[in-house]
């Protein structure tokens, strides 16, 4: 990649502003509340944009582009089915309990509603997951910098070994994220997430524009792609008829209900931004404001994937060469077909090359595998001239950092309030906890770095971690749903249900296997009693089993245990809490009105791209 002075300038300017915001906020960080909860003083629109930006990590931008190139517009189900309904639900129904209970974190809410053990279980598993996710983000970013050869020319100029680029990328991203969170806490993280949001829009919108123009607009794109690529609901009646390999029930229950509600309604990574607003009204508006741009994000991150497939490839791209200085000997001379990766690329998507042999990797049927993760980076390189290329790359790097930062602030809050203050050092001064929060930030970043290096040395660790997260997260929503809407739910029941839900997920995974996979990390390690058409279908059904197990067990055990007195549950359970007053708000500002509008828009989008 050839970056010029102007690209570097744009990138450096961005980093200067990111750190500058941290410095500017430092003087406002007087109490632990300022640091961990942004003083509960931010406007709803800022928190709303941070709400989606916290989720805009590596997985989102690179992953959704890749999935767009692989499956087409059906990927938008992850937004339209897999996010919007849950965001509406959390805003209209759940936020009053999170914000109104005065809990400072989601695990703390669980303690108020249930008991100490449920909180401890959730806080520990959540803390571990945040540092791992942030580490995975860091790793992905360093790998991408390496693959795109961003720093190569600079390293060559200063006579530094190219093998150091990975370490350099890890250290620099760690220092920047650490710097601005250490200084400005959650406020700084939220402000930077909003900055990153606008930067991602500014970097990707022209990409879609230029790309679409090149392939002849939407009609040109449709003509250039197989018909299934531009329809999101075609063949959804049967799992074998559509590229995702899922049928509508698994999709809407597994993704649309269990997984999506489990994430958007209970994950403190996103909830923390809503809890940083100045009032309960604003807090309820946060996910609803976030839902508007979220609904249109498929056009920003999925569409480039489709365009990448439709773009006639004329030039060989930088990343087809393997990164020099890494475990990669030069590509051996053409011995057979598979040693020429350019033959197998599709549009801008190159074939996957084995870094050791330099040959194209194939699946079991001998079909070459494509490296879909390069869809978005290759789009940037293909369509952007120097200047705006700097902007596009900065946007890409920004997306990694916003994912990292959200995890780190969630970690420092849960660590300090739910673990340190609750079990290690009670009754210390507020200054002490503020200091602890800063050091927890350092600790969180160091653990993320350790994770990033662990991922480089153990091949399967990333898949394994993500699998474990899915086991822990799958049953979560049942606990919150019953806790908030059924006053009879007891602490013992919630805890047992939660743990059994995770166990059910593990067992389901051990007993089933996606088609074409071997027993092992993909499932079936106990015995194979059922085969799913795709890994996605298996994931969705694992979640459905985990949720149902948790739900049923929690209900049964609740009925057998002693309920808490109703007076203790005011403000925590729907039926015992005064409904929020809405009549003083203008009609268009009322959460329920916004929710109805969002649903109408959602239906319209699904009908348009059916």
How far apart, in whole angstroms, are the C-alpha atoms of residue 455 and residue 466?
A: 12
User: Is residue 421 involved in binding another protein (CB under 8 A)?
Assistant: yes
Selected from 3, 21, 138, 505, the binder of another protein by CB under 8 A is: 21
Other Cβ atoms closer than 10 A to 200: 24
User: Is residue 116 involved in binding another protein (CB under 8 A)?
Assistant: no
How far apart, in whole angstroms, are the C-alpha atoms of residue 514 and residue 535?
A: 5
User: Is residue 217 involved in binding another protein (CB under 8 A)?
Assistant: no
- Minimum distance between the CB of residue 530 and another protein, rounded to whole angstroms? 44
Q: Return the DSSP state at 276.
A: T
> Which residues have C-beta within 8 Å of that of residue 309, sequence separation ≥ 6?
69, 225, 229, 346, 347, 348, 349, 375
Q: CA dihedral defined by 163, 152, 406, 78, rounded to 10 degrees?
A: -100
**Which C-beta is closer to another protein: that of 205 or that of 335?**
205
Q: Where are the alpha helices (DSSP H) in 245-374?
A: 248-249, 260-264, 268-274, 280-297, 303-310
How far apart, in whole angstroms, are the C-alpha atoms of residue 432 and residue 434?
A: 5
* Three-state DSSP state, 362: strand
Question: At which residue do the structure tokens 């249109």 appear?
Answer: 296
Restricted to residues 55-114, the positions that interact with another protein (CB under 8 A) are 96, 99-104, 108, 111-112
Restricted to residues 176-215, the positions that interact with another protein (CB under 8 A) are 187, 191, 194-195, 198, 202, 206, 210, 213-214
User: Is residue 610 involved in binding another protein (CB under 8 A)?
Assistant: no
- Minimum distance between the CB of residue 593 and another protein, rounded to whole angstroms? 17
User: Is residue 14 involved in binding another protein (CB under 8 A)?
Assistant: yes
**Which C-beta is closer to another protein: that of 300 or that of 544?**
300
**Which C-beta is closer to another protein: that of 213 or that of 343?**
213
String of DSSP letters for 428-472: --HHHHHHHHHHHHHHHHHHHHHHHHHHHHSTTHHHHHHHHHHHH
Selected from 46, 181, 236, 393, the binder of another protein by CB under 8 A is: 46
User: Is residue 30 involved in binding another protein (CB under 8 A)?
Assistant: no
Choose one: 54-62, 81-89, 458-466, 571-579; the region binding another protein (CB under 8 A): 571-579
Cα 192 to chain centroid distance, Å, stands at 17
**Which C-beta is closer to another protein: that of 216 or that of 329?**
216
- Minimum distance between the CB of residue 580 and another protein, rounded to whole angstroms? 6
**Which C-beta is closer to another protein: that of 16 or that of 556?**
16
HSE, CB side, 13 Å, CA atoms: give it for residue 56: 30
The answer to whether residues 67 and 227 touch, using CB atoms and an 8 Å cutoff, is: no
Choose one: 25-33, 159-167, 257-265, 523-531; the region binding another protein (CB under 8 A): 25-33
Choose one: 31-39, 137-145, 363-371, 505-513; the region binding another protein (CB under 8 A): 31-39
Q: CA dihedral defined by 462, 53, 99, 19, rounded to 10 degrees?
A: 100
Selected from 155, 417, 540, 551, the binder of another protein by CB under 8 A is: 417
- Minimum distance between the CB of residue 582 and another protein, rounded to whole angstroms? 9
User: Is residue 246 involved in binding another protein (CB under 8 A)?
Assistant: no
HSE, CB side, 13 Å, CA atoms: give it for residue 191: 23
**Which C-beta is closer to another protein: that of 9 or that of 521?**
9
**In the beta sheet, which residues pair with residue 362?**
368
**In the beta sheet, which residues pair with residue 263?**
none
**Which C-beta is closer to another protein: that of 83 or that of 190?**
190
- Minimum distance between the CB of residue 202 and another protein, rounded to whole angstroms? 6
**In the beta sheet, which residues pair with residue 523?**
520
Selected from 160, 223, 529, 576, the binder of another protein by CB under 8 A is: 576
**Which C-beta is closer to another protein: that of 238 or that of 386?**
386
User: Is residue 365 involved in binding another protein (CB under 8 A)?
Assistant: no
> Which residues have C-beta within 8 Å of that of residue 127, sequence separation ≥ 6?
411, 414, 415, 418, 419
Selected from 8, 41, 331, 362, the binder of another protein by CB under 8 A is: 41
User: Is residue 511 involved in binding another protein (CB under 8 A)?
Assistant: no
How far apart, in whole angstroms, are the C-alpha atoms of residue 334 and residue 329?
A: 14
User: Is residue 279 involved in binding another protein (CB under 8 A)?
Assistant: yes
How far apart, in whole angstroms, are the C-alpha atoms of residue 12 and residue 536?
A: 39
User: Is residue 117 involved in binding another protein (CB under 8 A)?
Assistant: no
Q: Tell how many helices (H) and how many strands (E) occur in the chain.
A: 25, 2
Which residues of this chain interact with another protein, rule CB under 8 A? 6, 9-10, 13-14, 17, 20-21, 24-25, 28, 31-33, 38-42, 46, 96, 99-104, 108, 111-112, 187, 191, 194-195, 198, 202, 206, 210, 213-214, 278-281, 382-388, 391, 417, 421, 430, 433, 567-572, 576-581, 584
């Amino acid at each position: 990649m050839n970056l010029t002075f102007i690209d570097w300038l744009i990138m450096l300017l961005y980093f200067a502003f990111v750190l500058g915001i941290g410095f500017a906020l430092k003087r406002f960080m007087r109490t632990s509340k300022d640091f961990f909860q942004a003083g509960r003083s931010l406007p709803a629109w800022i928190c709303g944009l941070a709400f989606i930006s916290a989720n805009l990590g590596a997985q989102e931008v690179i992953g959704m582009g890749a999935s767009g190139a692989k499956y087409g517009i059906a990927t938008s189900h992850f937004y339209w089915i897999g996010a919007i309904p849950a965001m509406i639900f959390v805003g209209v129904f759940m936020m009053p309990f999170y914000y109104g209970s005065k809990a400072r974190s989601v695990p703390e809410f669980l303690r108020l509603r249930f008991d100490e053990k449920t909180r401890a279980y959730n806080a520990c598993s959540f803390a571990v997951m945040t540092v791992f996710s942030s580490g995975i983000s860091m790793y992905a970013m360093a790998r991408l910098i390496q693959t795109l050869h961003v720093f190569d020319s600079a390293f060559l100029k200063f006579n530094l070994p190219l093998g150091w680029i990975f370490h350099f990328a890890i250290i620099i991203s760690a220092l920047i994220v650490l710097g601005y969170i250490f200084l400005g806490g959650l406020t700084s993280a939220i402000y930077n997430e909003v900055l990153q949001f606008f930067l991602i829009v500014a970097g990707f919108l022209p990409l879609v524009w230029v790309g679409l123009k090149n392939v002849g607009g939407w009609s040109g794109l449709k003509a250039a792609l197989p018909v299934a690529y531009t329809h999101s609901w075609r063949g959804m009646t049967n799992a074998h008829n559509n590229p995702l390999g899922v049928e509508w029930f698994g999709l809407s229950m597994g993704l649309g209900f269990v997984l999506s509600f489990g994430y958007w309604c209970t994950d403190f990574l996103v909830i923390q931004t809503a809890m940083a607003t100045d009032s309960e009204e604003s807090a309820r508006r946060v996910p609803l404001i976030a839902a508007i741009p979220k609904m249109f994000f498929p056009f920003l991150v999925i569409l480039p994937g489709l365009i990448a497939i439709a773009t006639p490839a004329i030039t060989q791209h930088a990343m087809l060469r393997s990164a020099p200085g890494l475990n990669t000997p030069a590509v051996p001379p053409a011995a057979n077909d598979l040693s020429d990766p350019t033959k197998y690329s599709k549009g801008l998507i190159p074939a996957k090359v084995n870094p050791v042999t330099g040959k194209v990797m194939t699946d079991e049927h001998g079909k070459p595998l494509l490296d879909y993760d390069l869809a978005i980076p290759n789009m940037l390189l293909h369509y952007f001239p120097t200047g705006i290329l700097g902007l596009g790359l900065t946007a890409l790097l920004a997306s990694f950092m916003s994912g990292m930062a959200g995890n780190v602030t969630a970690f420092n809050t849960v660590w300090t309030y739910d673990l340190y203050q609750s079990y290690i050092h009670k009754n210390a001064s507020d200054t002490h906890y503020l200091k602890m929060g800063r050091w927890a930030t350092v600790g969180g970043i160091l653990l993320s770095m350790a994770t990033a290096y662990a991922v480089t040395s153990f091949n399967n660790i990333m898949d394994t971690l993500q699998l474990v997260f899915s086991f822990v997260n799958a049953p979560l929503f049942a606990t919150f749903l019953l806790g908030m809407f059924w006053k009879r739910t007891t602490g013992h029941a919630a805890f047992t249900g939660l743990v059994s839900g995770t166990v059910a997920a593990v067992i389901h995974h051990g007993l089933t296997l996606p088609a074409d996979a071997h027993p092992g990390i993909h499932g079936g390690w106990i015995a194979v009693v059922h085969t799913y058409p795709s890994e996605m279908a298996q994931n969705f059904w694992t979640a459905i089993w985990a949720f149902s197990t948790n739900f049923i067990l929690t209900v049964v055990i609740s009925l057998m245990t002693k309920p808490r007195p109703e007076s203790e549950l005011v403000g925590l359970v729907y039926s015992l809490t005064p409904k929020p007053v809405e009549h003083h708000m203008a009609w268009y500002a009322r959460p329920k009105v916004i929710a109805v509008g969002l649903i109408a828009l959602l239906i319209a989008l699904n009908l348009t791209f059916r």
